[in-house]
Structures are given as structure tokens and as C-alpha cells.
């Protein structure tokens, strides 16, 4: 099946026997057994019944099956946030003394988790540049167990060449994990390129309606079993009602991404030809440094666009003048949003850290939504006039 069909069909196995067309919400903490033998079968792992919703729940399992199908993996797991997904993966896969090699162009929450939490438990992190990630032969130390990266990244949409990095990790016996939030499985399928684990902030495009916080991990059954054991211990599972909302959002993922891709390409192209806008970052533009990589490994370039207006003052005036596009953090929903990275995702970073992340005070980041693109461009036009 093609992705847009997989997003809708088949009705996932976990809830198929209810004959409900949509995934029902099982709002229950626990499940009733008929006998001690039935409980024993569950405990021995020979039954597919559910015991307790922190361990597993049919609504959650059904949506997990959808995400696994979309990512082309054996299995997937859902979590109460993207951060909960990352935390659970790191705790499951690493031990004291292990080293994580992490892209320095990474979501701030991942960086703080590695530096502020995992470090307390003896897991060391080494942050590397995109150039270092593109020469994987010299990337590993004897302690490296995991390489964690993002592509495209925030906010400059720089891309990592996924295939060679994943192959090098595998050859070395090191796990590779990608945060695929910006791309979605519609635009990029890292598992097919050899990556071991895919992570999502499902809060963003997978749900698509900015009304739940959720996270997802997808990978082989062997890897997912290890992470599931840790999810049970940490209690980081998603709530069934939020899983239902995520499952409903997923049905339109493919069509939403088509429109996000088209709108963002039009917005980026329009900004790039306007002398009032400075550098425009969008992997679909042939001026983007990673356009060739993006063309090779992506089916569409996504809904995120970043523009550098030259100074914080200009960016702030532009931001304050927007009338259709909302001033808000987050991304990936139907509504277009604008944020200033130095005030949100890259707040409180030193000048050196900002330079390493390629972030300037004049940058405005757009999450281009599904509105009519003419209305979005008209809004950008009038705001640039005041910027």
C-alpha cells in the first residue's frame, strides 16, 4: 500500500475485532480476565490480551500499528510527549559509561536531556557538527553506543545524508536514531535508509491539529521490545484519548503534507525573490546548502521555512505585524505559526552556541499551515513592509 492508503487503512489489528470503522477509545485502567489460566498466559507472554493501560491499551496499540506501517517498521510505541519518547529510548538503550554522539544542531530539549539528565547517570554526550556527521568513519570512539541526529533540523533546515551515516553506524555496531519530526514518514522514511530508530514529536505533523502532546518511536521488534520494557517502568505511555486524536489526525497526514509541502515551497520561493527578506532557508530551494541531499532522500521538503531579516529589531517588527499567521511556538499544525528562534527554541544560548547552531537574532521561523497560500503571502507582504 502507498502512504496515503496506509494512513487510512487497514483498520489496525488491535481494535479490528470490535468491527468499529474508527479506532474506539478504551478509557479504562485495567482489563478483566476470566481465569487464573488467562492471567498466567498473559504473564508468560503467550496471550495478546491487555492487563493494565500503563503497559498497553488497545486504542494506543492500534495507533502504534498505524505509525509502524507508515514508517515501514515492525513496531512503534507511543509516549506522553516527544520528550517522553526520547527519554525512554535513551534510558532503555544506554548504560553508565556509554557515549552518545549527537548532532549539535539538535532540538534544545534533547540537548538539555542529554547534558542535564543523562549525564547525571554516567552517560556522556559528544556534540558534533553536520560536517563531522557526514564523515562517519571518524565519528566513533570505543564507548559510542548511539548516534542521535535530526534531518531537516531546526531552524535552518540543514540535512544530514542519512544513508551513509546509518550504514557506518551499523558496520560499527552502533545504534542510529533520527528525530524525524520535521520530515514525517510521508516526506522521509529513514528506516528504509538503514536507520535503527525513528523518533517523532507526534505533537507536530503526525497529529497535525495542535491539540495533543505526544511522542512516538518506531523500529525493529527487538529494539522496540527493549524500549517497551522501559516504558512500563517509567510510565511514559500516551493516554488513550490523546492516542485517539493522534489516530484521527494520522488519517489525513498524507494529504496534509502535500499541502504543507506546496504552501511552504510557494512561501519560500516568494520570500526568496523579495529584496526586503534576507536569506531564506528551505531545503526545496536550490540556494539551500543541502538541496541536493534533500532531493536524494526526501519525497517533499516539508512545511518549515526560515527567513533571516538581518537584525532582531526588523524580525520583531515583522513578527508583531503578522495578522493571519499566529505568533506561537510549536509547528506542524493546520494553522500557520511564526516564532523567533532566539526567543523560543534557542533562548539563552551564548553567541558561540548560536553561531554553532547557525542561528541569528534576525531569524523568523514559519510553520507554514494549510490556509490559502495567497492569504499567507499577502500577510507576509504587509508584515515585511513594516519590518
Ligand X SMILES: Cc1ncc(COP(=O)(O)O)c(C=O)c1O
What residues are annotated to the active site? Answer: 54, 107, 179, 204
Q: What is the DSSP letter of 52?
A: B
Query: Closest-CB residue for ligand X?
Result: 82
Nearest residue (CB) to ligand X, 59 versus 181: 181
**What is the grid cell recorded at 238?**
500516551
Q: Following DSSP, what letter does each residue of 13-38 receive, concatenated?
A: HHHHTTT-SSPP----SB---S-HHH
In angstroms, the CA 212 to CA 215 distance is: 10
Least distance from C-beta 85 to ligand X, angstroms? Answer: 8
**Which residues lie across from 207 on neighbouring strands?**
none
Nearest residue (CB) to ligand X, 201 versus 263: 201
In angstroms, the CA 307 to CA 273 distance is: 12
Cα dist. 69→151, 159, 178, 250 in Å? 21, 24, 17, 12
Nearest residue (CB) to ligand X, 180 versus 263: 180
Least distance from C-beta 179 to ligand X, angstroms? Answer: 5
Burial of 333 (0-12, 13-18, 19+ CB in 10 A): buried
Question: Which residues are near ligand X by CB under 6 A?
Answer: 81-83, 107, 109, 150, 154, 179, 181, 201, 203, 213, 215
Least distance from C-beta 191 to ligand X, angstroms? Answer: 18
Using the Cα atoms of residue 341, residue 347, residue 351 and residue 352 in order, give the sign of their dihedral: negative
**What is the grid cell recorded at 386?**
513594516
**How many Cβ atoms from other residues are within 10 Å of residue 70's Cβ?**
23
**H-type helices in 303-372, by residue range?**
312-321, 351-357
Nearest residue (CB) to ligand X, 106 versus 267: 106
Task: State how beta strands 99-103 and 124-128 pair.
Answer: parallel
Least distance from C-beta 275 to ligand X, angstroms? Answer: 31
Nearest residue (CB) to ligand X, 256 versus 365: 365
Least distance from C-beta 181 to ligand X, angstroms? Answer: 4
Amino acid at each position: 500500500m502507498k502512504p496515503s492508503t496506509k494512513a487510512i487503512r487497514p483498520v489496525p489489528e488491535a481494535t479490528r475485532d470490535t468491527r468499529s470503522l474508527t479506532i474506539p477509545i478504551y478509557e479504562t485502567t485495567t482489563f478483566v480476565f476470566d481465569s487464573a489460566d488467562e492471567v498466567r498466559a498473559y504473564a508468560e507472554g503467550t496471550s495478546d490480551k491487555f492487563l493494565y493501560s500503563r503497559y498497553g491499551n488497545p486504542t494506543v496499540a492500534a495507533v502504534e500499528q498505524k505509525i509502524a506501517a507508515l514508517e515501514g517498521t515492525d513496531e512503534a510505541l507511543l509516549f506522553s510527549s516527544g520528550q517522553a519518547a526520547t527519554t525512554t529510548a535513551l534510558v532503555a538503550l544506554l548504560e553508565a559509561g556509554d557515549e552518545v554522539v549527537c548532532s549539535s544542531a539538535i532540538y534544545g530539549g534533547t540537548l538539555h536531556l542529554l547534558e542535564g539528565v543523562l549525564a547525571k547517570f554516567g552517560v556522556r554526550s559528544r556534540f558534533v557538527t553536520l560536517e563531522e556527521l557526514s564523515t562517519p568513519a571518524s565519528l566513533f570512539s570505543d564507548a559510542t553506543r548511539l548516534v542521535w541526529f535530526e534531518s531537516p533540523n531546526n531552524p535552518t533546515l540543514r540535512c544530514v545524508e542519512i544513508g551513509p551515516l546509518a550504514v557506518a553506524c551499523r558496520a560499527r555496531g552502533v545504534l542510529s536514531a533520527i528525530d524525524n519530526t520535521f520530515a514525517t514518514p510521508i516526506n522521509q522514511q529513514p528506516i528504509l535508509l538503514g536507520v535503527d530508530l525513528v523518533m517523532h514529536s507526534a505533537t507536530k505533523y503526525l497529529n497535525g491539529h495542535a491539540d495533543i502532546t505526544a511522542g512516538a518511536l518506531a523500529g525493529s521488534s527487538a529494539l522496540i521490545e527493549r524500549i517497551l520494557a522501559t516504558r512500563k517502568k517509567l510510565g511514559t505511555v500516551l493516554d488513550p484519548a490523546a492516542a485517539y486524536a493522534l489516530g484521527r489526525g494520522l488519517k489525513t497526514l498524507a494529504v496534509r503534507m502535500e499541502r504543507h509541502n506546496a504552501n511552504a515551497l510557494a512561501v519560500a520561493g516568494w520570500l526568496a525573490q523579495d529584496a526586503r527578506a534576507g536569506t531564506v532557508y528551505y531545503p526545496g530551494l536550490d540556494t539551500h546548502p543541502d538541496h541536493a541531499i534533500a532531493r536524494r532522500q526526501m519525497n517533499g521538503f516539508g512545511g518549515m521555512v526560515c527567513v533571516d531579516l538581518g537584525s532582531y529589531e526588523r524580525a520583531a517588527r515583522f513578527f508583531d505585524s503578522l495578522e493571519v499567521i499566529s505568533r506561537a511556538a510549536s509547528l506542524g499544525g493546520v494553522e500557520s505559526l511564526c516564532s523567533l528562534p532566539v526567543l523560543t527554541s534557542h533562548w539563552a544560548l551564548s553567541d558561540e552556541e548560536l553561531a554553532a547552531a547557525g542561528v541569528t537574532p534576525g531569524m523568523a521561523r514559519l510553520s507554514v499551515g494549510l490556509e490559502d497560500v495567497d492569504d499567507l503571502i499577502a500577510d507576509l507582504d504587509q508584515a515585511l513592509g513594516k519590518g
